Structure 1
Amino acid sequence: MTQVLGDGVVTLARPRPGWRVADQVLSSLTVAGLSFAVARTVEAHVFGVLGLVLLVAGFALGITRALVSDVYLIQFGDVMPRVRRQAARDATGAAVALGLASGALCCLMSAVLPGHQTRMAVFAVGLALPGLLVQDCFRFVFIAAGRAAPALVLALTGSAVQLTVVALIIRSGQHSTVGVTAGWGTAALLTAALGCALARLTPSLRQVPVWFALNRHLTVRLSVEYLLGLGSLYLAYCLIGAVVGISAIGALWAAQMFLVPAYLVISGTVALLREPFARRAEQGRPLVRPAVVTGLLLATVTALWGLALVALPDRLGFHLTGESWEGASTVLEPAVIGVVLVGLAVGPALALRAQGRGDRVRRASLVRAVLLLALGMIGADLGGVSGAAVGLVVAHAVGAVTLWGILLRRV
C-alpha cells in the first residue's frame, strides 16, 4: 500500500496473515514442548498445577491481545512509520500496565487458593505475567510494521530461551512447578528486553488511559469474542479442576497438547481464508459451498490426526507425558471429537462473518460458552474428568449445529 505525503510517495507495510500464523505456530509449539518436558518428569498432580499456570497465562495473553496487540495490528498496520512507532510505544505500555495489573491480581488470588504448591505457582505466574505480555506484544509490533526478520528472531529466541531455562531447571532435579514457572517468566522478561532493543523503543505508560479510550470500539468486541471462544474453554477447565481436583486440569491439558497440530491447522485456515471469503461476499457470490468444503475438509484432517492419536500405544503415551498419560488417555477420544466439531464449525463462521453477520456468530458462541461452563461442571460432578470431557463435547456439538443452522436458514 502507498500513501502520498507532500511531493513524495511513502510505501506502507501491510501485515501478512502468514506471519501471524507462523508466530502462532511457534508460540503453540513452545508451550507444547514445555508441557511435554515437564509432564515426563513430574507426578500427575504437579502437572495439573502446571496446567493451571498455563491456563492463567494463556487467558491473560488472550485478553491482552484483544485489548492491545490485535487492536494495534488492525489500527496501525497501514499508517505512516512515525505514527506506527508512537503507537507501538503506547501499545507496549498498555501491555506493561495489563501485565502489572493481572500479575498483581494473581498474587492476591494465590493467598486464597487451596494447596501450598498451587498458591506458590499462581504467585509465580503473577510475577511472570508482565514479561510474558510485553514480549508477546512486541512480536505484533514487528508484524504490523511488516518486519518479518525481527519478529522471527524474537519468536525463535523466546522459544529457545524459555525451553532451555526450563530444561536446565528440570535437569537440576528441581521438579517444582514454582521453579519452572519462575524460569519461564525470567526467560520471557529477557525476551521482552530483546524486543525493546530490536524495536529501538521503550514502552510508554503515559498514554495508557488514552489508548483504551480511543480504541474502545475494537477492544470491547475483540474481548467479547475471546471470552466467548477460547477464554470460556479455559475457564471451563478451571471450574472442572475445582470440582474434580487439580489432576483433572493436567489430564485435560495433556490431551490438548496432543491436539496442538490440529488446532494450528484450524487457526491457520481461519487466518488464510478470512479475506477470500470476504472478497467472495463482496462479489455477491454464494458462500454455502465454500463453507461446506472448508468445514468438511477441516473435520476430515482433524479426524485423521485424532484417529492416529487414539491408536497411540500406551507405552509411547507414558514416554511423552509420564504419569499424566493415564488421565489424558481417558479424555483423549472426547477431546478428538471436540476438535473435529470445532473444525466443522469454521466454515459457517467464516461465511457469516464475510456476510457481515458477526453478531450471529457471537450469539452461537455465547450458547456454546454457557454450555461449556454448565455441562463441563455437571459432567465433572456426575462422572469425574471423563464426564466433564463428554459435557465439553456436547457443548461443541451444539455450537457447531447452531452455526450451520443460522447459515442454512439465511440461504
Structure 2
Amino acid sequence: MTQVVGAGTAPPGGPGQPSLRSRIRWRVADQVLSSLTVVGLSFVVARSVEAHIFGIFGVVLLLAGFALGITRAMVSDVFLIQFGDAVPGVRRQAARNATGAAVALGLAAGTFCCLVSAVLPGQPIRTAVFAVGLALPGLLVQDCFRLVFIAAGRPRPALLLGLSGAAVQLTVVVLLTGAGHHSMVGITAGWGAAALLSAGIGCLLARLTPSLREVPLWFALNRHLTVRLSIDYLLGLGSLYLAYCLIGGVVGIAAIGALWAAQMFLVPAYLVISGTSALLRAPFAARAERGQGLLRPALLTGLGLGVVTALWGVALTAVPEWLGMHLSGQSWDGASDVLEPAVIGVVMAGLGAGPVLALRARGRLDALRRAWLVRALLLLVLGTVGADLHGVRGAAIGLVAAHVIGAIALWAQFLRNSAQPVDPVR
C-alpha cells in the first residue's frame, strides 16, 4: 500500500486538491444526512411497532452505530486525514485499501454479531442481532465510500450516494411496515440489503473495488491514528452506547427503546453541536498558534451552544401528547418519561463543546481524554445504578448526572491547562 510520505503528497489546497475547509463542510453535511436518515428510519419504525419491539430496534441501532463509529475511527476518518491532500493516483489506491479495510471490519463485526446472537435470551432479539450481523458489511462500506468521495473533493457523488441510500432504506422500511411486517428481522434485513445496494453504487461511482490484500498493512501503517481515534470514540459515544446496553440488561429491552426514542427528538440539537464544533476547530487552532487566549471563545462557544440546545429542549418539553404519539407511536410514553433528563444531557454537551475545542487547539489531548474517561466511567456506573434503583427514569437521571460532572471536568481541565504553553503536536 502506498503511504502518503514525501513524494506521494501534494501541497494542501494545490491544483486539483480539495481545500481543508471544503472537506470539513462536506463532512458535516454528510454527518447531518446520515443522522437524519437514521432518525427518519427510527420514526417510521416507532410509529409502526410496539414499544418492546422498538426496544429491539434500538439494540440494532446501537450495534450498527457502534460498528460504524469504530470503522470511521479506524478507516474513514483516517483516510480523510491521511489522503485528503494526496495526489490522485496515491489517493485512488488508498481508497481501494480503505474500502477493503471497511469490508474486513464489516465481516468481522457481522460474524461477531451472528455468533453472539446464538446465546442471547429470546427469539426476537436473537434473530434481530443475527440480521444486523448480515447487514453490517454493506452499511460500513457504503459509509466509507462517502468519505472517500469527500476526501477526493467530489461532494456530488458523496451526496448522491447518501441520498440514494437514504431513499432506498426509507422506502424499504416504509413498505415493510406498511404491509404489516413488524418483525425486526425483516426490517433489519431490508435495511441491510438497501445499504448493500448503496455500497454497490459506491463502487460504480468511484470506479473501483475494495481490496482486501493490503488490509493488514493499512492497520499497521496507520496505527498511530487508528488507536487515538478509536480511544476518542470509545470514551465518547461508544461509552454511551455501552451504558444503554447495560441499562437494557438491568431494566429490559424496552428501556433502550425509551432512551433512543428521546434521543430521536434531540438529534437536531446534537447536530448543531457537532457541526459547530467541526467548523470552529480551525479558528481555535489558529488562535492557539498565534498565542492568543482561548478562554473568551471557549466561553462564547459553550454558552452559545448551551442556550441554543436549551431552547430546543424547552420546545420539546412543550410538545403535546397527541403530537408525540403521532410522531413516535407507543414509544412516546417511554420517551416522555426520560425527555427532561435527556434535554439536560444535550445542554451539558453544548456547554462542554467550548473547552473541548480549546483543549484540542492547545494540544492538550491527554487532559481532554482524562475528562472524557471520567464521564465514560460515570455513564456506565451511574446509568446502571440508576436503572437498578428506579428503572428507566433512574437510568436517565444517572446518565444526566454523568454528563453534568463530565462538563465540569472538561472546564476544570481547560482552566487548569490554560496557563501552560501550547503543545505544538496536536
Same fold per TM (> 0.5)?
A: yes
Matching residue of 2:346: 339
Confirm whether residue 13 of structure 1 aligns to residue 2 of structure 2. Answer: no
Match of 2:104 among 75, 89, 97: 97
Amino acid at match of 1:361: L
Amino acid at match of 2:44: A
Give the Cα separation in 2 of the matches to 1:249 and 1:333.
16
Is the CA contact 1:106–1:126 (under 8 Å) kept in the aligned structure 2? Answer: yes
Task: State the Cα deviation string for residues 159-185 of structure 1 (Å, max 9, x = none).
Answer: 001000111111111011111100000
Q: Which of 73-82 and 15-24 deviates more?
A: 15-24
Confirm whether residue 26 of structure 1 aligns to residue 52 of structure 2. Answer: no
Give the Cα separation in 1 of the matches to 2:121 and 2:29.
38
Secondary structure of the corresponding residue to residue 40 of structure 1: helix
Confirm whether residue 79 of structure 1 aligns to residue 111 of structure 2. Answer: no
Task: Give 4+ residue runs of structure 1 displaced > 6 Å after superposition.
Answer: none
Amino acid at match of 1:250: G
Amino acid at match of 1:11: G
Give the Cα separation in 2 of the matches to 1:410 and 1:69.
31
Matching residue of 1:294: 301
Give the C-alpha shift of residue 13 in structure 1: 2.4
Give the Cα separation in 2 of the matches to 1:194 and 1:136.
12
Is the CA contact 1:28–1:260 (under 8 Å) kept in the aligned structure 2? Answer: yes
Task: State the Cα deviation string for residues 305-325 of structure 1 (Å, max 9, x = none).
Answer: 000000110111111111111
Give the C-alpha shift of residue 225 in structure 1: 0.1
Give the C-alpha shift of residue 34 in structure 1: 0.5
Match of 1:142 among 140, 149, 159: 149
Secondary structure of the corresponding residue to residue 209 of structure 2: coil
Relative to the length of structure 1, the TM-score reads: 0.98
Match of 1:128 among 128, 135, 138: 135
Task: State the Cα deviation string for residues 199-237 of structure 1 (Å, max 9, x = none).
Answer: 000000000000000000000000000000000000100
Is the CA contact 1:162–1:187 (under 8 Å) kept in the aligned structure 2? Answer: yes
Give the Cα separation in 1 of the matches to 2:271 and 2:193.
27
Give the C-alpha shift of residue 12 in structure 1: 2.1
Secondary structure of the corresponding residue to residue 175 of structure 1: coil
Give the Cα separation in 1 of the matches to 2:10 and 2:410.
40
Give the Cα separation in 2 of the matches to 1:243 and 1:154.
39
Amino acid at match of 1:187: A
Is the CA contact 1:18–1:272 (under 8 Å) kept in the aligned structure 2? Answer: yes
Matching residue of 1:201: 208
Identity of aligned residues (%): 73
Give the C-alpha shift of residue 3 in structure 1: 3.8
Confirm whether residue 353 of structure 1 aligns to residue 360 of structure 2. Answer: yes
Give the Cα separation in 1 of the matches to 2:274 and 2:49.
31
Amino acid at match of 2:391: G
Is the CA contact 1:14–1:144 (under 8 Å) kept in the aligned structure 2? Answer: no
Confirm whether residue 259 of structure 1 aligns to residue 259 of structure 2. Answer: no
Give the Cα separation in 1 of the matches to 2:374 and 2:407.
10
Task: State the Cα deviation string for residues 88-112 of structure 1 (Å, max 9, x = none).
Answer: 0000000000000000000000011
Give the C-alpha shift of residue 10 in structure 1: 4.6
Q: How many residues align?
A: 406
Give the Cα separation in 2 of the matches to 1:151 and 1:324.
33
Structure 1 segment 8-407 matched on structure 2, within 5 A: 10-15=15-20, 16-407=23-414
Give the Cα separation in 2 of the matches to 1:13 and 1:284.
28
Is the CA contact 1:3–1:11 (under 8 Å) kept in the aligned structure 2? Answer: no
Amino acid at match of 1:245: G
Give the Cα separation in 2 of the matches to 1:3 and 1:36.
45
Identify unmatched segments of 5+ residues in structure 1: none
Is the CA contact 2:10–2:85 (under 8 Å) kept in the aligned structure 1? Answer: no
Q: CA RMSD in A?
A: 1.0
Give the C-alpha shift of residue 11 in structure 1: 3.0
